[in-house]
Amino acid sequence: MTAMTVTSNRTTAATGGTPALVVVAHGSRDPRALRTVRALLDRVRALRPALPVHLGHIELNAPLLPDTLAALGDAEAVLVPLLLGRGHHVERDIPDMAAAAPARTRVAAPLGPHPLLVDALHDRLTEAGWPAHAGPEHAVVLASAGSRAPASRADTARTAALLASRLGVPVVPAYASAAAPTVPAAVRTLTARGYRRVAVASCFTAPGRFATECTAAAPWIASAPLGTHPSMAHLLLHRYDRARGGGGEPNGPQGARGTARPAATHAALVRQPHPAPV
């Protein structure tokens, strides 16, 4: 499977130079989110100074993605969603906005699931107080935004499986909206099964309402959002490189879909292998 190339109906000329990286963020009413995303892009620019890096939002914040693409004219660009799984924004909204723009664009896969994402989740948990050697009383709730799209839930379940393999404890995916279980429900389930140290891992790119609500549901520790963790910057560049090179993506946008995997059981989560980055 390959990343999807979207070309508008307008005539576009091939342009020389390196295709721009356009990081596509969701947007938030929380001012901390925009500051965090801008700081993350600064980290990406520091890693690859010659690469043109732009920001576009799906909603709520400027610049909006259509405005960012319009400013690029007929240049080439790779759109990398700053989103953690396949959902309506990745499979519909972003390709539709790209198709309406004059630029020749390629839409990369979202950031998850991927081992680099798990690196960031693990580090944020460690910063919050997760022990180096977890015991049988430990478990994690992976708190995500939530989506009605089955592929999005499959991606979150896969990320939970990868994190469980890394930590050696059960990791249960849970959601702030649009899907079940909720974070409080997942915490109650694990507590009823005898886990006395239940942590909440915030699978959010930046601070906001969902991250705050999920943190409040933690009975023990809760990690900070992924934010400007170095692995997030490396993962954005990895998705850019994969899309630009036409490499296959197991979780690409519409037109390059994989088969959604069901959520794993607690035992299966612990046994999942740690895959090589793709």
Q: How do residues 142-183 score in pLDDT, each as one tens digit?
A: 999 999 999 999 999 999 999 999 999 999 999 999 999 999
Give the strands of the sheet with 171-175, arranged side by side.
171-175, 138-144, 197-202
Question: Do 160 and 198 lie in a common domain?
Answer: yes
Contacts of 71 (CB under 8 A, 6+ apart): 54, 63
| Domain contains 254 | no
Longest CA–CA separation in the chain, Å: 63
**Residue-range definition of the domain harbouring residue 62:** 4-112+228-245
- Provide the CATH number for the domain around residue 180: 3.40.50.1400
pLDDT of residue 17: 81
- What letter represents residue 163's amino acid? L
Question: Do 106 and 238 lie in a common domain?
Answer: yes
Question: Do 48 and 181 lie in a common domain?
Answer: no
Question: Do 26 and 98 lie in a common domain?
Answer: yes
Angle at 9 between CA 5 and CA 13, to 5 degrees: 75
Work out the average pLDDT over 210-225.
97
pLDDT of residue 245: 86
| Domain contains 52 | yes
pLDDT of residue 55: 98
Question: Do 119 and 185 lie in a common domain?
Answer: yes
Question: Do 9 and 66 lie in a common domain?
Answer: yes
Question: Do 154 and 267 lie in a common domain?
Answer: yes
Token representation of residue 240: 């850019």
Work out the average pLDDT over 48-53.
97
Burial of 137 (0-12, 13-18, 19+ CB in 10 A): exposed
In terms of pLDDT, which residue wins out, 271 or 227?
Answer: 227
**Nearest in space to 51 (alpha carbons), one of 76, 71, 86:** 76
Question: Do 129 and 105 lie in a common domain?
Answer: no
- Measured CA to CA in angstroms, residue 66 lies from 88, 115, 236 at distances of 17, 31, 20
Say if residue 5's pLDDT is above 80. no
pLDDT of residue 3: 58
Total number of domains in the chain = 2
pLDDT of residue 16: 52
Q: How do residues 100-141 score in pLDDT, each as one tens digit?
A: 999 999 999 999 999 999 999 999 999 999 999 999 999 999
Say if residue 63's pLDDT is above 70. yes
**What b-and-e string marks burial along 6-35, b requiring 16 or more CB atoms within 10 Å of the CB?**
bebeeebeebeeebbbbbbbbbbebeebbe
* Length of the chain counted residue by residue: 278
pTM: 0.84
pLDDT of residue 246: 57
Mean of pLDDT over the chain: 86
Say if residue 263's pLDDT is above 80. no
Output DSSP code: residue 89. I
**Nearest in space to 173 (alpha carbons), one of 112, 228, 233, 119:** 112
Question: Do 17 and 99 lie in a common domain?
Answer: yes
